[in-house]
Structure 1
Amino acid sequence: MKLVALALVFLVFTGCSKTVRIASLQPAEIDRAAGAKRIAVYTFRHDTVGLTEKIETKAAAARVDGKPWFTVISRGDLSKILEELRLQESGLADEEQVVEAGKLLGATALITGSVTAADAEDSYYTEKRFECLDKKCKEYNIFDVSCMERSAVVSAHIRLVDIAKGEVLFADTLKRSRHWNRCFDSSTHIPTKGEALDLLANEIADHFIQRLTPHYTYHEVELLEEPDIDYSAEEKKLLKNALTFIEHGRYDKAEQLLGELLRSTGEQSYVAAYDLGVVKETKGELEAARSLYLLADRNCPEPNETIDAAIVRIQQSIRAKESALKQMNQ
């Protein structure tokens, strides 16, 4: 499967060093759920925050390398089957009945559960304020201002069931909470109680779907900018121009120049090897990047934190990519 290299993007200046933002493909956290790609989402019990719809929407929108990860069976079709089977007498069928309906629709997994908490409340307190009564503030006034703290919490017990085997692939309670503060002499906006609960329900849905889906994480990788051996004037120019091309997002030109620099130094420059490894990693060529980082390590006469971090990172990235590709091919 050909992956889209998402790791490109930009340079960030942190002090005197330049960094490149690199994407790393990570496997779905719940490996057992990797084959559950045709799913049905059944209405959560006590769902006053629209969590069912949020999970369904986010599952339908989930993409890996631009391709949909899930096929989502509509809840309308699921309800219709339940009605036809005369299993929906009270409006909420039990899980076994819903699994049977999902099986008839060709779903491989069922997502269901219940919202166990959805509460928002306000508490009040005061803060001291200081007000000058003259220009030199020789006279002043201290007074109290009324303030409010809005607290919200949403939690839900979510289950993912393998329809064919009847096995529970995932069962956990996910919870999100947050606090907002505002004093009445401030124009600071805080969400309404409904907006707060909606925000937290969205966070739960996002987190749950990400745990089921291969995804990219992003990190900043430092470049080496100073010659490590006795560079000629032309070799210094090659390094400088390569770094400029990286800054401009021209990884193709940077790769060409750094390759020329590495050859020119008889493959003895760890700076050239390392920076070329970063370019390869940015392009998603992880094995080539690992070889270059190991070459940089061999050429470096003493421990180098940047190179050490690159070797650890690339090994982790290769393992993560292998796991993600295995999931993607299921």
Structure 2
Amino acid sequence: MDIHENARTTPHSRAEMVRRVIEEGASRSAVAKAFGVCCKTVSKWVDRFLAEGPEGLRERSSRPHRLHRPTPGTIVDAVIKLRRQRLPGHEIARRCGVSPATVSRILRAVKLSRARDLDPPEPPRRYEHPNPGDMIHIDIKKLGRFGRPGHRITGSRKSKSIHRGIGWEYVHVAVDDASRVSFNQIHPDEKAPSAVDHLKACVAYYKRLGVAVRRVMTDNGACYRSTAFKNTCRELGLKHVRTKPYTPRTNGKAERFIQTALREWAYARSYITSDQRAACLAGWTHRYNFHRPHGGIKHQTPISRLGLPVDNLLRLHT
């Protein structure tokens, strides 16, 4: 409840006023003098309490119950119609014969005052393929290499020059749409040969888990549009699906996985060098696949969705 900073009374003090008048029999003028308010204020709260009980001592809106000259419904409809035609507020006010303030009030009430409200974002379309291997999402994340802890850990940028020219490394990720089982590798670049090597290793990894990959989804990066990647997909019997340009949410499972990897692996602890960080990727991926509950699959572990026999599961876990 919002109360003015200079308010003389609060619900608690109003209740005390009422108690002194009704229970102690004090005069309203004496109570008003004791609380530093006028007698009319005390009478108001006493009368409200007698009529409504304790609820009558709460704050009320100062908005009038009935407007003196409300805007006609035909004008309101015309304002909304013109706004949906992308007309600005002053033009709508001129055409409808009302003030810009009236137009602004109407548009705020129907949540059309901002330009972005005229084109609301498309609601997310969530999907999940029924079988493991039906769709593998593949993407790449670029990370800077370093020879000592950087400013994220030390908080100082004075040693920035020591990292200059050390280069980059690229994490190629793959996530199964149905189970969320992931496979990740670090390559020195994001060119076609690296993308092809990751694809072959990815298919072989899922095959060891008993999953036959049928389709892969990537963005429109140059390595995925290359002839080498196209030929590799054909050799492996894979259907290659590319996302709609400028629509990263289409490949959302890979995008979301990358955010998880950055938070729980890449930036989760202080690494001495980027090589140490890279060495920890395999262990973190194992934890993600075998031990970490996944919120998108009802807090199951990704490996549990493959339905592997106990013997195979134990063999893969070691």
Short-chain TM bin: under 0.3
- TM (normalized to structure 1)? 0.18
Larger Rg belongs to: 2
- Say which structure is richer in strand: 1
- Structure (1/2) with the larger helix percentage: 2
Where relative contact order (Cα < 8 A, 6+ residues apart) is larger, the structure is 1
